[in-house]
A and B are shown apart, each in its own frame.
Chain A
């Protein structure tokens, strides 16, 4: 490989030079060590002495060994200022703000979707009337996978899991009379490609309404890991081109829509597919590193670039792992931003994160158990210091969340916030011998996996070669086997299973052919009334821009203005970049 140092090498080099002021008095540690040995050999039962360390097994857990008891001996070099610090100050282990939840409680986001653009508009208005402060608009499957409502692949699935958007006109209907300059709008475009296609439609809609782009608050996901790794699809473009589009989107949005969050790094969806908490974070961090490297290469200032970078995590069953994980990656991110990228502004060094509780950890058996699970997941995330939260409803694992389920999710968060009092103290678990040791351990593991990715050529290369796919598939296979043989205990499924188990119903939005027909008719009319020559030439220009290396969003914007549809832009990307399939099962 090249002479460039890996992130791990840079950070280790720096910590070697660090001057540390150990908190624990060496004399005290010596005495404790002696006592510890004596206690261990006389008081602790033989069996526990032999199995001092056990490795917990949970769904998508990281299998990090635990000792029976933790003491200062687990962290003898502990330096309060260097390792922990104060909240809102470097190294940010305890939180990115000094007062954390006392100052600003975690945001509760309500996801919704489904139905025609008209129905969606009505729903938004109703939610706003009920006091919602943000809109999270879910797209239907055809739109997410970038197919027009009239393509054969979309048959039977238009408007079933979200709202369909084919063109600017749909955006105009959805957001009609909605004050998009006052409300934070999250358009759940997972992928770089559908971000590049749909977000310009939103911008064109805003412009036509006379709303300047610098007034628009909101976010997109825009993560190439989602598009090239996690999702299954009938058609892909090469990951390196997908990554390039991710960067183009970030660049464009940062420049032109300053209040918009331009990337939310995975995270969550990767882990839901089936991988450990450590890998989840390593992949997101590796993606962030490569993205910032690319941005630097394009000549952008690192602080300007990093200002609105955000992460998306998935707290799961292993309670303390989840708490420690968020703290670990927060400290690690700070170190990476400061020492690897030379960031100057505090904002650049904050690991801002949204979390959604783990869906794959929930079961269809005895669904009310999931209320308990999700509550623990949420609590762990709060104790870890997440900025905003979505709690999965108890039925989310197997059906479209019911109203009851959605309300319970919100109540879960409200109870944590108003009744448990955990939010009154910043980083309440900080200083625990166990939690600090675990945080150190996890930080090291995440960095080791980031290093492995970097040594293999970076995140784009390991996705292209299939290495990362295979890593996840191996994890899934292993986990399935451990659930099947009971090594991973799932209450209600393979551990304490009710003899007369009745499985709850699965409910989906009924497919409404009327909506599909409306969308098809609208497309037919669109293709008649628009200037088809202009649409074609915009698509040609987009393809040329792809090949030339220009920022694609500037060209998809022109396409959107010319009423080009989503499917047409998708096809243009494939024609320009070529078609790719993930190397599976080598």
Chain B
């Protein structure tokens, strides 16, 4: 009987094209790796390409790190591309960094289920594990 491994969680971490700060993204990448997840790190990329990458890598989570703004416009493009590609419902979308808290409701509406203005490693990992488990149950 083939042994079934516990399904690893695969996360894609990216930033929108003009983002200049990478500290957050690298920090989270290390934290997720330490929590046993597989992290595809692509850095700065256009929304459509982030989605195409997510498809090829079959990721559970797409995490965007943002400090320089533009997250509403680019975020909207991201979720739209995800829908067109048919992966919006099966993927967990996270956004972290620095942005106006008043944008949070709009971001949630777009489809970001996890939004972090500052979070500990434990909080992010817990959020991901919970969200991924839910998605896997419903699929």
Contacts and interface: CB of A to CB of B under 8 A. Distances in A.
A506 B100 contact: yes
A484 to B, nearest CB: 7
A473 to B, nearest CB: 6
Contact of B23 (A233, A273, A507): A273
11 contacts: A141-B20, A152-B17, A156-B73, A233-B20, A273-B21, A477-B27, A505-B102, A506-B100, A507-B100, A511-B69, A585-B29
Interface in A153-200: 153-157, 160-161
B21 to A, nearest CB: 6
B44 A233 contact: yes
Interface stretch (B84-92, B116-124, B127-135): B116-124
Interface stretch (A142-150, A240-248, A294-302): A142-150
A157 B70 contact: yes
Given A144-B20, A477-B27, A505-B100, A234 B43 contact: yes
Contacts of A160: 69-70
Contacts of A505: 100-102
A584 interface: yes
Nearest to B74: A156
A8 to B, nearest CB: 30
B44 A232 contact: yes
B77 interface: yes
Given A477-B30, A511-B70, A506 B101 contact: yes
Interface in A540-586: 581, 584-585
Contact of B18 (A157, A364, A477): A157
B19 interface: yes
B68 interface: yes
Nearest to A235: B44
A520 interface: no
A480 interface: yes
Interface residues of B, number: 35
A506 B18 CA distance: 20
B38 interface: no
A28 interface: no
Contacts of B19: 232
A156 B68 CA distance: 11
B20 A232 contact: yes
Contacts of A399: 98
A233 B120 CA distance: 26
Nearest to B29: A585
B81 to A, nearest CB: 12
The 6 closest A-B pairs by CB, nearest first: A156-B73, A153-B17, A232-B22, A234-B44, A157-B70, A156-B70
Contact of A511 (B15, B22, B73, B120): B73
Interface string A39-60: 0000000000000000000000
Contacts of A161: 68-69
A160 B69 CA distance: 8
A508 interface: yes
Contacts of A254: none
Contacts of B118: 364
A69 interface: no
B73 A155 contact: yes
B41 interface: yes
Interface residues of A, number: 36
Contacts of A156: 69-70, 72-74
A97 interface: no
A504 to B, nearest CB: 9
A340 interface: no
A contact patch SS: loop
A185 B43 CA distance: 33
A480 B27 CA distance: 8
Q: Which of B29, B43, B44, B69 has the most CB of A within 10 A?
A: B69
B11 to A, nearest CB: 14
Contacts of B70: 141, 155-157, 160, 511
Q: Which of B17, B73, B99, B101 has the most CB of A within 10 A?
A: B17
B46 interface: yes
A95 interface: no
Contacts of A142: 18
A584 B25 CA distance: 12
B120 A145 contact: no
A152 B120 CA distance: 33
B121 A508 contact: no
Nearest to A507: B100
A108 interface: no
Contact of A484 (B17, B30, B98, B120): B120
Given A476-B23, A503-B117, A511-B70, A155 B44 contact: no
A145 B20 contact: yes
Contacts of A231: 20
Nearest to A234: B44
Interface in A469-490: 473, 476-477, 480, 484
B77 A155 contact: yes
A401 interface: no
B121 A484 contact: yes
A398 B69 CA distance: 12
A503 B99 CA distance: 13
B121 to A, nearest CB: 7
Nearest to A584: B41
A475 B45 CA distance: 26
B74 A155 contact: yes
Interface string B92-119: 0000001111100000000000000110
Nearest to A158: B70
Interface in A493-528: 503, 505-508, 511
B101 to A, nearest CB: 6
Interface in A126-155: 141-142, 144-145, 147, 152-155
Q: Which of B23, B101, B102 has the most CB of A within 10 A?
A: B23
Contacts of B99: 506, 508
Q: Which of A141, A160, A581 has the most CB of B within 10 A?
A: A141
A371 to B, nearest CB: 20
A267 interface: no
